[in-house]
Structures are given as C-alpha cells and as structure tokens.
Amino acid sequence: MQFKDIIGQKDIKKSLKKAVDEGRVPHAILLYGPAGNGKLALALAFAQYVNCHSKINGDSCGVCNSCRKYSKLIHPDLHFTFPVIKVNEKATSADYLVKWREYFSENPYPRYQKWMQCIADDNKQGIIYVDEARDLIHKLNQKSYEADYKISIIWLPELMNPQCANKMLKILEEPPVNTLFILVSEGEEKLLNTIRSRCQFIRVPVISDTDMQQYLETIAIPGHLSSSSIARLAQGNFNSALDIIEKDEEHEFDQKQFAYMMRAGYARKLQEILFWSEEMGNIGRVRQMGFLMYCNKFLRESFLQNFRQPELVHMNEKEAEFSKRFSPFINEKNVISLYKEFDKSYRDISMNGNSKLVFMDLGLRVSKLIRMR
C-alpha cells in the first residue's frame, strides 16, 4: 500500500511522511475517526514508507523487497492485530491471517460488520483477546528479521477485552527498541486512558466530496448515478460509496425495516411491532447493530430535511421519498429522545442482551415518541 493509492487525506499523508523524513517516528500512533475514511490504509502505507529501502517522490518505491512483501501483507516484521472469534481456548489474529489477507486485498477500507461475516455468522462479535497480547509481546521482543522497524498495526483496539488491554499497556509503556505501534480506531474514547496517553493522536477526517468524486471518476459506475451524486450521498465514507454503487442489499433491508417500524409505531399496531421484533431478533447481532446505526443516521437526515436546506441532506431516492412524509414527525420534541433510544438499544445488543426483547422495547418506545408534535 502506497500513499498514492489512498483517496484524499493529503494533510495526514504529509504529516506522516514528514515524521519519517525528519527522524521523528513516535513509538505509538493512534489514527482515529469515522468509518470508511481510509485509516487502516493510511496505517499500512505509513508502515510501508517507514521500512521502504528506496523512498521516492514522497512515497514508498513499491518495488523494493520490503515494499513487495508489504503489498502482500507477508513482511515478517509487520504484525496485524484485529478482532477475531474464539472457537477454541485460544484465539489470535494469526489463526485468521489468510482470510484477513484475502479480505483486505479486496478492500483496504475494511469494516467490522463485513469482517465478521467473513469469519463467522452474524450472531458472533469479534474480540481481541488476551492471547493476542501475549503473542504480540513475544513477537515484538524478538530481533527484527530484516526491517529497521518492527511494526504492529492494531485495527479496532477498542475491542480489546480488559485483560488484553491491560497486558498491551505494559508493552506500550516500555516498547522494544525500533518498534512502532499504529492503533486504528473508530471509538478511541472507549480505550483505556492509560493507553491513550501513550499514543500520538492523529484524527483522520472523512474523505472530502471533491477527493471522493475524483476517485469515483476513475472507476466504472453502473446505472444512472453520477460520481458527484455518489460522493455527496456517501458523506466521506468510501464504503458507503461502494454500497450506493452496488445497491447494497443490507442498506435496502435497513431502510425497509426502519420504515416498517415507524409506520407500525405511529399506528400503534402492537401485533405488528411484536412481529417486527421477532423478525429483527433473528438476523444476527452484527446485522442488528448495523441496523441501529443506520436508524440514527436516517433520523439525523430526516430532522435536517425539516430545515429545507437540501445541501445538508444525504439520502438516496427511496430514502428521500419516504422522508418527505416521515420528516414532519421528527422534531425538536422527540429527535434527541429517539436518538437515545436507538443508541441504548445498540449498547444492549452489543452487550449480548436478549435481542427480541430489546427490539420489542424499542418498538414500543418509538410508538410513543413518534407521536410527539
């Protein structure tokens, strides 16, 4: 992965390259920000640049022995850590490394939900277990094989369990010589403060509409949507852009379920709410969490639509059609309460709450709030 392969993020690239060129590589960096903005791709491009033998024109060369191994994610001094599913007593990223390489090579802007679908069913939630910390500490305390730096890239460190986080803290406090940690987070506030304090923070913003559009113009886009329309709807998230292009079935499912819940809630059809909660309870936890995230996004867009400033609203045609009738029911009296209900349901699902009961309770609360005018 080279910097030139990453969409936009000019300022972040410049900052990372400058740190290497001036010999100011910190021992730990925390790249954080919203999903789909290229944080993990930046982490890999930065790691490749650090160990490149023949840097050229502000980027790694892409052809030296080190770069070739980085491009295949097989460099012996590059260590990936990511959420996994425990099927035996021990579970580490090494057990899933082949699948990870395949998944990352398809899309270097990975998302948690899709990764879980690659390695398990939708009821499983990935965790970074304490065995991961033990293995990583052992590897990093060994002499490097061939690179100047041993580099550990940790994707979604907020999913470390407490035992892992505490053990990882020890090596962050006293890292081996010439070791670089790159943490890539979408929920940095969930990390231990002691871990946060050991890292140099770099916030990675969403991809600008201009940069997104320029990239989209280089690929084939089926259908009638223009690259500018897709860039605007994607709101800086490359995966959202891909969903729009591919007419992602999950996105369409989320929109239909949201509309069904709101209509049943407004009509106070308790039998339909019960039926809906049973159906939602069977789709798997990862999908349930994705749906609840979609709900809060759609609430925001519908509330903004009431201000009659279309440049602020990001919806596809089906969403916009539904929102024309729905948005008047989202107002100052209920929007915050509705948002909190979806957020609470997300937390309950993520903590393995009874999903059918969670969705039943959510449907009943929504039926009350949606009528507030």
DSSP string across 57-109 = TTB--S-SHHHHHHHTT--TTEEEE--B--SSS---GGGGHHHHHHHHHH-SS
pLDDT at 96: 93
What are the pLDDT digits (tens) for 306-327?
777 766 667 777 788 888 888 8
Do 181 and 41 belong together in one domain? yes
Do 228 and 296 belong together in one domain? no
Do 63 and 116 belong together in one domain? yes
φ/ψ of residue 150, rounded to 5: -85, 130
Do 102 and 139 belong together in one domain? yes
Examine the fold and report which residue of 222, 247, 272 is the final residue of a domain before the chain moves on.
247
Do 62 and 133 belong together in one domain? yes
Do 99 and 145 belong together in one domain? yes
Identify the CA nearest to 285 among candidates 121, 87, 60.
121
Q: What is the CATH number of the domain that holds 10?
A: 3.40.50.300
Do 200 and 73 belong together in one domain? yes
Please give the Cα distance from 191 to 272 (Å, whole number): 40
Lowest-pLDDT range, 39-48, 91-100, 150-159? 91-100
Answer whether residue 198 shows pLDDT above 70: yes
Do 164 and 126 belong together in one domain? yes
Do 34 and 76 belong together in one domain? yes
Domain span at 186: 3-205
Do 184 and 230 belong together in one domain? no
Sheet holding 78-81, edge to edge: 78-81, 150-155, 179-185, 28-32, 200-203
Answer whether residue 359 shows pLDDT above 70: yes
The model's confidence at residue 253, banded by pLDDT at 50, 70 and 90, is confident
Do 94 and 15 belong together in one domain? yes
Total domain count, the chain:
3
The model's confidence at residue 128, banded by pLDDT at 50, 70 and 90, is very high
Examine the fold and report which residue of 224, 247, 270 is the final residue of a domain before the chain moves on.
247
Identify the CA nearest to 237 among candidates 324, 245, 173, 91.
245
Lowest-pLDDT range, 20-24, 54-58, 313-317? 313-317
Identify the CA nearest to 36 among candidates 118, 101, 111, 103.
111
Do 67 and 142 belong together in one domain? yes
Answer whether residue 131 shows pLDDT above 90: yes
The one-letter amino acid code at 233 reads: L
Residue 40 class from Cβ within 10 Å (0-12 exposed, 13-18 middle, 19+ buried)?
buried
**Percent of the chain beyond pLDDT 90?**
62
Answer whether residue 373 shows pLDDT above 70: no
